[in-house]
Structures are given as structure tokens and as C-alpha cells.
Amino acid sequence: MNIVVCMKQVPDTTAEKRLLGDGTLDRASVPAVVNPWDEYAIETALRIREAQGGELTLLCMGPENAPETIRRGLAMGADKGVLVTDPALHGSDMWATGYVLAQALKKLPFDLVLFGSQSTDAGGGLVYGIVAELLDLPQISWVNQIEVGGGKVRGQRLSDAGFDVVEAALPAVVSITQTPYEPRYPTLPNIMKAKKKELLTWSLADVGADAGKVGLAAAHTAVGGTEKPSSERTVAVYVAEDPETTAKYIADFLAARKLI
Amino acid sequence: MPTSKDIFVMAEIDSQGKPKRLSLELAGKAAELAAQTGGRAVGVVCGPATAAQTLGEYGLSHVFYCPDPRCAEELIGPPAAVLASLIAAHNPWLVLLPGSPLGKDWAGRIVGKLGLGVEAGVTDLTVVDGKAQVTIPAFSGALRVSSTFTTDGAAPGLVIVLPGSFDLKRSGGTATVEEVALPAGTPTQVRVVERKAQEGGVPNLAEAQVIVAGGRGLANTDNFALIRQTADLLGGAVGATRAAVDSGWIPYAYQIGQTGKAVKPKLYLAVGISGEIQHKVGMQTSGTIIAINNNKEAPIMQFADLAVVGDLFKIMPALNAELARRKQV
Ligand SMILES: Cc1cc2nc3c(=O)[nH]c(=O)nc-3n(C[C@H](O)[C@H](O)[C@H](O)COP(=O)(O)OP(=O)(O)OC[C@H]3O[C@@H](n4cnc5c(N)ncnc54)[C@H](O)[C@@H]3O)c2cc1C
Ligand SMILES: Nc1ncnc2c1ncn2[C@@H]1O[C@H](COP(=O)(O)O)[C@@H](O)[C@H]1O
């Protein structure tokens, strides 16, 4: 079973964010991490590989400094990494991201491609659908448990009532949500081992992608302006008195705002 | 070829075949924009004719519906194929989609199929100089970005909208409804082989107007009954932090935050929740936030409208009693 996990480098949620003059994020100014959703995809892939063998490749489209982040996934246990990076990619939109990943996937042998269900910075939840469409593959998304075998993949997708068990033939695209198991933490020996693992760097030309279709100039959308949302809330602090008085206070507060 | 001025809405239905609240919010917004630009507000729904009629009551003048059962059985491919063929045939200016898992799934396939521009995670949509301008909270809400389509008016633009961004407006109109068939040759790629119900149900957090959420402060599963009662009294849903989910007190479907659901109720009551950033990003845009926490230094006490410092085990039973009493009078 050969698995590719598409992983994105994202700015750490807990860090301060700054923008460049062209309105894109100054990614150099914030520590980068593996998109937390993708860690669940990596963990899921590791478990399948441990049970069934095969090779696990991480695929990332990102800036030149992304290898450090990819190494974290290698330290979790992935076998090799591929970074698609190119100056022309700066400012690429959703379609272009899907296009470049699809082109790269054409060069990698796989039975299964796993994604996170969304990224914490763009939060689109779109890229895997674009990739699946471009490669004409079935797509199972928003699943927190998968089984592979007999040329098929089955996943448990959250539904309005509980779960839908969805099934598709391999090769397939699957997006993972938070799983019942935690992504493993890289151990020191594995961090050392990861330094020696293969990490390829591919350009747009290497994946046969048309540079005219990607980057800021080809983007279908353009950021006009950005602002820091003002934190308009004024906090009313109320130190609880006896329970009944406190309950009345809260109920009055709700009533004053017409919430009851 | 320039686009028409039409605004399309791709609606999502519930298990009873009724349009979901977010889809109705989109219908109202589409009607408002259409009135401004002189285009039509058009719906697309993979479901029964009654769903199409309901969309008309919320402002759409024309609704295409596809009742083919494959839409429900295969979730993504068939509805995306229906919408793609209607987009190709009518060349609308904008297509609004719900920012739900299914809405995103459909949008991804459409963007891949037709190579269109897409704005995701949108919380506002206005027309500026005849062009669509959207607002998107970015980077965990640290920034608010305004964005436009470089292809505005030249190719349809997809707009994926978060719940609670637009008011629900029932105009009471009637739409012309028109049945459409699933495009010939749509392949079967995925099948739902089983539907499992979650014991105790799944909260509709994305669309809830009131959420009472519990965290590690609740200390065990049984104590969730305390906030379940509050939620019932307020007509709301129960939510939870990851700490509560990881402790096995409540299923993942209840989790709010970075790796759970993003919510925007009118009232968010946080009980025994610290308000760490990964939780905050999922609920910070809620209308009124009330926190009940015995530690006045907890982060949530910095971004709540009302920060009640006290023991939840004393306060919640009294609050439930008080709410029940006020309901009776
Ligand atoms: C990658 C990643 C993703 C994450 N995603 C999410 C996510 O989606 N959602 C999420 O919620 N978290 C998420 N987290 C976890 C997050 O960082 C916090 O650990 C979590 O939100 C804490 O949950 P809590 O507030 O219930 O627990 P705690 O932080 O332990 O807070 C419990 C609070 O209860 C109060 N309390 C205790 N007893 C009482 C009492 N008797 N009366 C009143 N108050 C009391 C305490 O003062 C405390 O403030 C994520 C973390 C990571 C690293
Ligand atoms: N630049 C990228 N490189 C590799 N994978 C990506 C990239 N962008 C998005 N993805 C994958 O697509 C998923 C959904 O991302 P998004 O559509 O941005 O929410 C992520 O969780 C990743 O698995």
C-alpha cells in the first residue's frame, strides 16, 4: 500500500501574524508548523503502513523553508518527503494549489492520498476536492476512521445524525478529521533518523506544471485590504455571590440582551 | 463571454428533505444582491420539489431541483455534477455555497472541474463598484481580509459562506421550480454503505443560535447533564472543548475549536472552559459570550461579555432553576 499524505505548512495559531505589502502573510515572521489536521492524516497513514507495509511519502507545496516542517512529518515516521517549491508559486490561489499537487501526484506511485480536512490558515477544505477532480479520483472526506483492503477504502464520515460509512475503490483521495487517536510525537532517535531521509525538491518544471497558470498574477482572487479586527467586547466581571443571586444576575443579563 | 447578473445558491437539505438554515440565509442574501444588480436569485437543490418551494419563500425567484436519489447516496459527485452543468448553461455572476463539509466538498469538485475562482470562509458579501467584495477572517481570526475576484463578470465566482453571516429573511415569495436530471454519464465513485446514528444524537452546532458548552471544569460525563438542562431551557445545543472530548466525556461531534467546529451562535455560554486559543478560534465571533469559571485569570475571562467568577457546580443548578422559573411566568 503506497500512501501519499499532502501536508501544508501553516503559521502557528498561537503566534502573532504580520502581512507583506502585497497583502499576503509574511510567513517568515511566524513560526511554521505542520497543519494540525494533516498530523492526523500522517498518523492515520502510519497506522495503515504499519499494518500493511508499503511506502509513505509526504507531499508539500510551499516556500523554500518548508523542509524543516516536512522533517517533522518524517520524524513521525514517514519514509520520504517531496517539496514542490518555485518562486513563481508565491500568491497561488486554491485552484493553482490543487493543480500543482495533482501534477506532482502524477509522478508519485500511490494507492491512497490522504489530506487534512482543512487548513488552519486558509480553512477552505477545498484542495482535496480540486485534486480529486483533476485526477478523476473518488473522494471520501471528513472521516475520522478508515479501513483499507480488497482494493477499497471505507471511511466514517460525520453526518447530521452520527456517521455515514462511505466506500470507494482505490486509488482514492481521503480527507481526515481529528481522529480518536493522537498523532505520535517524534522521538529523539526518530528526529535523528529523519535527517537522513530522502527529501526531494521539485520545481514547477519538474512536475510539468505551467508557470503561467499559478502565482499571484494568475490568481482568480485578489486581496484588497486587511485589518486587525477590533476586540469590541467590554468584559463585565461579576464575582459570584450566593447561587440564587448569581443566577438572577445572569438571567437579568440575558434578558437585557433579549436572549431570553 | 461575460457572465449574467444572476446569483446562484446551492442549497443543502437535512434528512427530512428541508433546506438547512444556512441555505436559507444564503437565499435571502442572493435576493438582496439580485435586487441591487438587476439579476435573478436562482436556487439549485438536490432534493424534492418541496425544498425548492421553501427556497422560494426565502427570496429565490427560480429554483432548479434534482430529486435523483443518487445525490443522497453518493454525497458529492452527483450534486457537484448537477451544479456544474447549471453553471455551464447559465453562466451566473456568483454562486453562493454553504460553508459546511458538504458545501466545501461540492465547491472543490466544481473548482477542479471548471477552473473557477473561489472565496472560502466568507462572513460578508457586498457589491462595490459593481464588483463582489467579500470579507474573510484569516489566520485564526487574527486578521480580516477583504477580497475580490480578478475574474469578476468574466467567469462565475464561487463564494463559500460561514453560518450566521446573514440574517434569515422569510419574504414569503414563490419560486418557479424546475426539475433537472442528473447529467448523463455522471460516474459512481463513492457510495454510502451504512448510516449510523450517534447515541443521544448529534448537535447542529453550526446553525445553533444558543450554545452551552462545557469543558474540563465539568469533571465527568454525568455532569454534562447540568449544561444539557441549561441548553434545553434556552432552546440551544450543547458543545464541548477538546479536553472534554479527549477525556471521553462526550463525542467528537460536539467539539468546538480549531480541529472541531466553528460556531457563531447569538449566545455562547462557556462553562468550566479556559478559552485556550484553539478553542477561542472556533467561537470568538459568537454574539454574546458568557463565561462561568472559578479562575478569574482564565483566558476566556478576557474575551467574554460577562465573566462570572465562581464555582459552576453551585451556579449552574441555580441558573437552571432560575431559567425554568422565568419560563413559567
Ligand atoms: C493542534 C491542537 C488543536 C486543538 N484543537 C482544539 C479544539 O478544536 N477545541 C478545543 O476546545 N481545544 C482544542 N485544543 C486544546 C486546547 O489547547 C485546550 O487544551 C482545550 O481547549 C482546553 O479545554 P478546557 O478549557 O475544557 O480545559 P482546561 O484548559 O483544563 O480548562 C478548564 C477550566 O475550567 C475551570 N474550572 C475548573 N473547575 C471549575 C469549577 N468547579 N467551576 C468553574 N470553573 C472551573 C478552570 O479554571 C479552567 O479554566 C487543541 C490543541 C492543539 C494543540
Ligand atoms: N500547499 C499545500 N501543500 C500540500 N498540501 C496542501 C497544501 N494546501 C492544502 N493542502 C492539503 O489540503 C488540505 C485542505 O486544505 P485547504 O483546502 O487549504 O483547507 C490540507 O489539510 C492539506 O492536506
Given pLDDT bands bounded at 50, 70 and 90, which one contains residue A24? low
pTM exceeding the 0.90 threshold for the entire prediction: yes
Residue B94 CB contacts under 8 Å (≥ 6 apart), including other chains: B7, B8, B33, B132, B156, B157, B158, B159
Q: What value, to the nearest 5°, has the Cα angle with vertex A197 and ends A193 and A198?
A: 175
Within a 10 A sphere around the Cβ of B116, how many other Cβ atoms?
A: 21
Instruction: Give A225's contacts in chain B (Cβ within 8 Å).
Output: 145-146
Average of per-residue pLDDT across B191-210: 93
CA distance A236 to chain B (A): 5
Indicate the pLDDT class of residue A231, thresholds 50, 70 and 90. Answer: low
**Nearest-by-CA chain A residue for B201:** A161
Q: Per the CB < 8 Å rule, is A165 touching B107? A: no
How many CB contacts within 8 angstroms connect chain A with chain B? 287
CA B121 to centroid of ligand 1, rounded, Å: 25
Can you spell out the DSSP letters for B176-197?
EEEE-PPPTT----EEEEEEEE
- Averaged over A9-38, what is the pLDDT? 78
Partner residue opposite A260 with nearest CB, options B109, B150, B234? B234
What is the average per-residue pLDDT within A216-222? 95
In percent, the amount of chain B with pLDDT more than 90 equals 95
Residue, of A51 and A228, whose pLDDT is higher: A51
B17 alpha carbon – ligand 2 mean position (Å): 32
Q: Which of A6, A8, A13, A137 to mutate to test the interface with B (most CBs of B within 10 A)?
A: A13
> pLDDT at residue A246 above 70?
yes
| B149, pLDDT greater than 70 | yes
- Give exposure, B268-295, as e/b (b: 16+ Cβ within 10 Å): bbbbbbbbbbbbbbbbbbbebbbbbbbe
Q: Answer yes or no: are the C-beta atoms of A256 and B328 closer than 8 Å.
A: no
Element of type H or E holding A172: strand A172-176
**Does the Cβ of B255 fall within 6 Å of ligand 1?**
yes
Residue B164 pLDDT more than 80?
yes
pLDDT at A22 over 70: no
Distance B314 CA to ligand 2 centre (A): 45
Average pLDDT, chain B: 96
List of residues 6+ apart from B210 with CB closer than 8 A: A259, B231, B234, B235, B236, B237, B265, B266, B267, B269
- Interface contact flag, B314 A257, Cβ < 8 Å: no
User: Which cell numbers hold the place of A29?
Assistant: 515572521
Place of cell 523553508: A65
The stretches of chain A forming alpha helices (DSSP H) are 36-52, 67-76, 94-105, 127-135, 188-194, 215-218, 243-256
Closest-CA residue in chain B for A175? B105
The CA distance from B31 to A137, in Å, is 36
Q: Give the closest residue to B19 by CA, choosing from B73, B61, B55.
A: B55
How many other CB atoms are there within 10 angstroms of residue B220's CB atom? Answer: 10
Task: Tell whether the model's pLDDT for residue B329 goes beyond 90.
Answer: no
Instruction: Return the pLDDT at A27.
Output: 65
CA B309, CA B30: separation in Å to the nearest integer?
44
Q: Which residues of B touch A233 (CB under 8 A)?
A: 289, 303-305
Return d(Cα B171, Cα A80) in angstroms, integer: 57
Is residue A15 scored above 80 in pLDDT?
A: no
Whether the per-residue pLDDT at B310 is higher than 90: the answer is yes
Q: Is A233 helix (H, G, I), strand (E, B) or coil?
A: coil
Q: How far is the CA of A116 from the centre of ligand 2 (A)?
A: 7
From the alpha carbon of B300, which atom of ligand 1 is closest? 49
Taking CB atoms within 8 Å and a gap of at least 24, the contacts of A66-70 are A66/A9, A66/A32, A67/A199, A67/A201, A68/A32, A69/A7, A69/A9, A69/A32, A69/A33, A69/A34, A70/A7, A70/A9, A70/A199
What is the torsional sign of CA A112, A116, A118, A124?
Answer: negative
Q: Which ligand is nearest to the CA of A176?
A: 2
Percent of chain A clearing pLDDT 90 (strictly above): 84
Phi/psi region, residue B219 (left: phi>0; alpha: psi -120 to 50; beta: rest), is left
| Beta-carbon count within 10 A of A194 CB | 20
Cβ contact, residue pair A221, B149, below 8 Å: yes
Q: Which of B113, B141, B260 sits opposite A229 (nearest CB)?
A: B141
Residue-level pLDDT at A17? 64
Element (H, E) at B237: strand B237-240
Per-residue pLDDT for A175 more than 70?
yes
Query: Which residues 6+ apart lie within 8 Å of A14 measured at CB?
Result: B277
